[in-house]
Structure 1
Amino acid sequence: MRKEFLFLVIIIFFSLDSFAQFTKYVVSFTDKAGTPFSISDPSKFLSEKAIERRAKQHIAIDETDLPIVSAYIDSIRSVENVTVLDGSKWLNQICIATADSLAILKINSFSFVAKTSPVKRLVRSNVAERNQSPEWAQKNKFSKETKGILSPASPPVSGNYYSYGNSYAQVHIHNGEYLHNNGFRGKGMLIAIIDAGFYHYRSLPAFDSVNLNNKIIDTYDFVDNEASVDEDNYHGMMCFSIIAGNIPGELVGSCPDANFLLYRSEDVASESPVEEQYWIAAAERADSAGADIISTSLGYNTFDNPVFDYTYKDMNGHTSMIAKAATLAAKKGMIVLAAAGNEGDDSWHYITTPGDADSIITVGAVDTLGIPAPFSSYGPSSDGRVKPTAASVGSGTAISSTSGTIQAGSGTSFATPNLAGLVTCLWQAFPDFTNMQIIDAVKKSSSIYNAPDNRIGYGLPDFKKAFDDLTNQEIIRNIAPVLQNNFIKIFPNPFKNNFTIAVNPPLTSVATFSLYDAAGKLYFAKKVSVQSGVIQVIHFNQMQLLQKGIYILKYNDGKNKKSLKLMAQ
């Protein structure tokens, strides 16, 4: 009996000693039983903007949207020496701070607690204080992101809305200026940037326009639990400049007219899983604020305490907390873009989390010539999905420095916001499409869509191609009811410089479209492969050489014939 008692004492002693090594924990709950809220009445717990986004995309409200049961939180808060920091309704968990081992044993005894997981180790006295200066770069996770060769500033290009300067190459590689020139620059869209801090964004010249026009809707520091993010690390500021910067002739961002949420979740002085919980809290705040896009240039694989380290096998989209949350953010209707990581040329080699999440865009890095950057992390995810999803300029990217000058930066951190801005502009152009339909169009527009690899995924997106693809889809959506009674339709009619034909072919064949004038003179004949039951859109451009008057378009698939009258103005 004495031996058994001594053994129990030893077990408790080592358990308490183990708990004493940590100061922050995630407490996961078993359920949301007894909640006073109902998914049938979401206005009681979701913001109007969050509800609108779900309704617009026909996304069902589910239990993950319900708040954490307040009685559970109150019970945890009542435990002596415990401070509740924040929580996640999506994952049904809260983050707490305590150095009291007995408190953790008490919490684990509650029937509604599924588990407690340490996420931050005890800070030893020999750990240096965090250096808050902008030069803090040598001893943090971003030290690998180096300065590169800045592309020469491009002279103003005739017809371009913006004078991009040094940022022209990173926009042009995606045909991004096509969106800007057609009026899609982010107006009315809301982008959340979750990062490590936004050093002096209030005073740096790259952000004059967003500050003057009150484009920053919300800021919050989840590390220090305060509203201000201006005094922290510069990494988020540099990423922000790639999207929102506007210094004509020097730096113009990929989406300068959007509105922004700036959230800090990363503590560069240390690396621990508690930062994943901070990120989750930021993503849920972005959801509530009505964000369309989340751009995050953070990634996790190893930590200060090796007990928390991930393996490549864990990069499967459903092991890390942050990957689970990123996937849920996508399920709530947002588009999430995450950096692939800068581990391509080191022993880790592969993507980091949350880049392994499902239904998001994971971004690798290339230079301004489209050559993959050596440091850009490799895919696939450990469960075999294509990763990265796509690539953008992350080697020699034009960014704002802490002094306000324009410099070059290298890292997938900088590829991510560049692509995020252009994706936002594309979605602005097609607001009736869902997040996944926009992502699908971006993938299909990419340079190696038919043969994706583990370096740049589907390749470099071409936003003119994506725009054209979505335009065709939009036409098909609108014309489909008309084609139920008439398998071919011309619009606009009358036309000036171009017209479009929508056809729902009755037969799979090679059809001929022939254009004649009123006197029967043939102007052209175009052969197109058509498939029965599949609506196709065919564009006839540069018709301005036609004389004004009446024309006849004839359709012939070998069995079915149709003649339509149209007028050139």
Structure 2
Amino acid sequence: MKRVFVFAVLALASVAFASGTVEESATISELIAKAPDAQALEAFVDSSGLEIGPLITYPNPSEEVLELFGCYYIVTIPDELQEVQNSLVDIMEELDGIEYVESNLRIQLEPEVEEDSESYFFMPDSFPDPYTPNDPLYPQQWSKIHTETDWAWNVSTGEGASIAILDTGVDTDHEDLIDNLDMEHAYNFCHNNTNVEDVIGHGTGVAGCAAATIDNGKGIAGIAGNAAIMPLRLSDDQGNIYTSATVNAILYAADNGATAINMSFGQNTSNPTELSAVNYAWGKGCFLCSTAGNDDKNKPRYPGAYENVMCVGASDPSDSRCWFSNYGPTVNVYAPGVNVWRPTKEGGYKPVSGTSIACPQIAGLAALIWAAHPDWTNQQVWDKIIESADTITIDKGKVLRMNARKALDVEKIEEIAEQPVTLPFISAIQIQHGSVNFAYSTPDATDYTLSIYDVSGREVYARDGQLAGSGEITYNPVSLSEGVYFWRISTEQGEVSGKFVYVK
């Protein structure tokens, strides 16, 4: 049997968290063994002074998880046997019933390094947005305008979707997260308890980028600001994470209603146990995404390079590749990854950079799509993200960058700022007792067509008539649901247009 050594590192929300700058554990204290027949393994462990336990450790796993992963074990090598660990592993690999043995290595995280927040972009004071939330830091969130997420919000803010954040935990009291946290399913896979408080800060930022509450008058707006956040903590208090925690969390998220799974961490080699968990979650209908990495290299990073995980690189406001972002054929899509505002574990906010802050924007986009199309499969969500993305040219060639407006099929309907004096003048739009009234005046009698469109550009109503002098056109929208609509009145002289918000 082949022994597989795997190491994982959180690709933190700043450039500093690249795998080349972290320290790998010097010795292997834990191994993961797949043993469909564990009799020989258990006998060897007992006779060798080792310890053995199940890989799956969270409460009440599903029968399907137990059937598929009940044959995976954690084997612990005590300190006094570390000198002979290689010999122990060699023997284990040859035991009857053993399919493979791999390490459960740890990597320690480094402190955060921030970018110069004024070196990349200048944020104008206003935007021609169809929807602007009331979150006070929204004007600094360049990524929402750049990816046209502000247009997508007219259709979806992620309500009903659930994003599992596999990370260092979250600040459960943060003003911009608390309303969206799904604490019923929160779990700590490092300590096997429900304490998901974030002592590192990375997970708080990732969660907020994906789903900080929108329109609460506080902080920022997440991509899917009304989606649920399922906080799943993987790390200990020093930021160490293990393959075993990652596998448990993926399986748990898949069995507990997560529609999207965000993994802002990575490793340099594939891992058969992790791959099995990823494929299980995909088979359960989850959308999964992970980071390309911050090494400025053309190399695969796992889990992002697995077939059923969308790998996310980082781009900047000029649609260039962020200088640190990995690239190459395993990167499926790019998202904003420089000076992206996110919440902090201290209760505040700050802009940070890295592929791990780009990744949750794709998880959030998946939640937006799923909320608008709850009957879609994960493959349909994946395909929509890819086919709706903008093609940009970076230093490595043409790549795709997310576009939320196109992913939600929202068409822009431009308003006409100034009209010739010969056109009918619409002096007021009033909504009274369920009717929409257009008050008009026109110098000449003329035929007209009134058209009403929803935010996707689909015509939902049309009528013809004649204008003469001054008066009102009354429209009774009995079949419309509440929301934003666009109108257009066409005459022989031209067109006038605008929008209204219909509330029953």
Question: Is 1:391 the counterpart of 2:338 in the alignment?
Answer: no
Contact 2:390–2:401 under 8 Å retained in 1: yes
Question: Is 1:370 the counterpart of 2:319 in the alignment?
Answer: yes
Report Cα offsets for 1:299-340 as digits up to 9, x if no partner.
Answer: 112xxxxxxxx4xxxxxxx65543453344323321111111
Bigger relative contact order, structure 1 or 2 (CA pairs below 8 A, ≥6 apart): 2
Question: Is 1:119 the counterpart of 2:104 in the alignment?
Answer: yes
Displacement of 1:194 after TM fit? 0.6
TM-score (norm 2): 0.65
Gaps in structure 1 of 5+ consecutive residues: 1-19, 32-68, 122-138, 302-309, 311-317, 381-386, 471-493, 503-514, 519-540, 548-569
Specify whether residues 457 and 361 from structure 1 end up closer, same or farther in structure 2 by C-alpha distance, changes over 3 A only: farther
Specify whether residues 76 and 236 from structure 1 end up closer, same or farther in structure 2 by C-alpha distance, changes over 3 A only: farther
Q: Identify the match of residue 204 of structure 1 among 161, 174, 181.
A: 174
Q: Identify the match of residue 34 of structure 2 among 28, 37, 45.
A: 28
Aligned length: 382
Q: Identify the match of residue 163 of structure 1 among 127, 134, 138.
A: 134
Structure 1 CA distance for aligned equivalents of residues 397 and 196 of structure 2: 32
Q: Identify the match of residue 250 of structure 2 among 266, 283, 295.
A: 283
**Equivalence map 1:107-506=2 (5 Å):** 110-120=95-105, 140-143=108-111, 146-149=114-117, 159-160=130-131, 162-164=133-135, 165-166=137-138, 168-182=141-155, 184-198=156-170, 201-210=171-180, 215-246=182-213, 248=217, 250-266=219-235, 269=238, 275-301=242-268, 310=269, 321-344=273-296, 349-380=298-329, 387-448=330-391, 458-468=399-409, 496-497=451-452
The one-letter amino acid of 1:210's match is N
- Match of 1:252, SS state, is coil
Structure 2 CA distance for aligned equivalents of residues 270 and 262 of structure 1: 16
Displacement of 1:154 after TM fit? 5.6
Structure 1 CA distance for aligned equivalents of residues 346 and 265 of structure 2: 23
Specify whether residues 85 and 28 from structure 1 end up closer, same or farther in structure 2 by C-alpha distance, changes over 3 A only: closer
Displacement of 1:495 after TM fit? 9.4
Structure 2 CA distance for aligned equivalents of residues 26 and 293 of structure 1: 26
Displacement of 1:409 after TM fit? 0.2
- Match of 1:359, SS state, is coil
- Match of 2:278, SS state, is helix
Tell me which residue corresponds to 1:59. Answer: none
Structure 1 CA distance for aligned equivalents of residues 398 and 288 of structure 2: 16
Displacement of 1:222 after TM fit? 1.9
- Match of 1:170, SS state, is helix
Report Cα offsets for 1:102-124 as digits up to 9, x if no partner.
Answer: 98688557532223333348xxx
Tell me which residue corresponds to 1:41. Answer: none
Specify whether residues 292 and 368 from structure 1 end up closer, same or farther in structure 2 by C-alpha distance, changes over 3 A only: same
Report Cα offsets for 1:128-154 as digits up to 9, x if no partner.
Answer: xxxxxxxxxxx9445465344177596
After superposing the two structures, state which structure 1 stretch, 420-429 or 246-255, moved more: 246-255
Specify whether residues 414 and 447 from structure 1 end up closer, same or farther in structure 2 by C-alpha distance, changes over 3 A only: same
Contact 1:251–1:398 under 8 Å retained in 2: yes
Displacement of 1:226 after TM fit? 2.5
Tell me which residue corresponds to 1:96. Answer: 75
- Match of 1:22, SS state, is coil
Higher normalized strand content (fraction of residues): 2
The one-letter amino acid of 1:169's match is W
The one-letter amino acid of 1:497's match is I
Specify whether residues 257 and 448 from structure 1 end up closer, same or farther in structure 2 by C-alpha distance, changes over 3 A only: same
Tell me which residue corresponds to 2:429. Answer: none
Specify whether residues 327 and 426 from structure 1 end up closer, same or farther in structure 2 by C-alpha distance, changes over 3 A only: same
Report Cα offsets for 1:168-206 as digits up to 9, x if no partner.
Answer: 322222211223222x212111111111332xx122222
Report Cα offsets for 1:25-62 as digits up to 9, x if no partner.
Answer: 1111247xxxxxxxxxxxxxxxxxxxxxxxxxxxxxxx
Structure 2 CA distance for aligned equivalents of residues 424 and 144 of structure 1: 28
TM-score (norm 1): 0.58
Structure 2 CA distance for aligned equivalents of residues 186 and 411 of structure 1: 24
Specify whether residues 389 and 118 from structure 1 end up closer, same or farther in structure 2 by C-alpha distance, changes over 3 A only: closer
Report Cα offsets for 1:366-397 as digits up to 9, x if no partner.
Answer: 123432210011112xxxxxx31111111000
Higher normalized helix content (fraction of residues): 1
Displacement of 1:463 after TM fit? 2.1
What is the RMSD of the two structures over their aligned residues, measured on CA atoms? 4.1
Contact 1:217–1:259 under 8 Å retained in 2: no
Specify whether residues 140 and 268 from structure 1 end up closer, same or farther in structure 2 by C-alpha distance, changes over 3 A only: farther
Specify whether residues 351 and 410 from structure 1 end up closer, same or farther in structure 2 by C-alpha distance, changes over 3 A only: farther
Gaps in structure 2 of 5+ consecutive residues: 1-25, 57-64, 412-448, 466-485, 493-504
Displacement of 1:542 after TM fit? 6.3
Structure 2 CA distance for aligned equivalents of residues 293 and 181 of structure 1: 21
Identity among equivalent pairs (%): 19
Tell me which residue corresponds to 1:9. Answer: none
Structure 2 CA distance for aligned equivalents of residues 24 and 119 of structure 1: 5
Report Cα offsets for 1:399-453 as digits up to 9, x if no partner.
Answer: 123332221100001011122112211111012221111111111111118xx87
Specify whether residues 222 and 172 from structure 1 end up closer, same or farther in structure 2 by C-alpha distance, changes over 3 A only: same
Structure 2 CA distance for aligned equivalents of residues 116 and 439 of structure 1: 33
Report Cα offsets for 1:5-31 as digits up to 9, x if no partner.
Answer: xxxxxxxxxxxxxxx953201111247
Structure 2 CA distance for aligned equivalents of residues 447 and 75 of structure 1: 57
Structure 2 CA distance for aligned equivalents of residues 469 and 27 of structure 1: 49
- Match of 1:181, SS state, is coil
After superposing the two structures, state which structure 1 stretch, 85-94 or 394-403, moved more: 85-94
Contact 2:151–2:405 under 8 Å retained in 1: yes
Specify whether residues 142 and 85 from structure 1 end up closer, same or farther in structure 2 by C-alpha distance, changes over 3 A only: farther
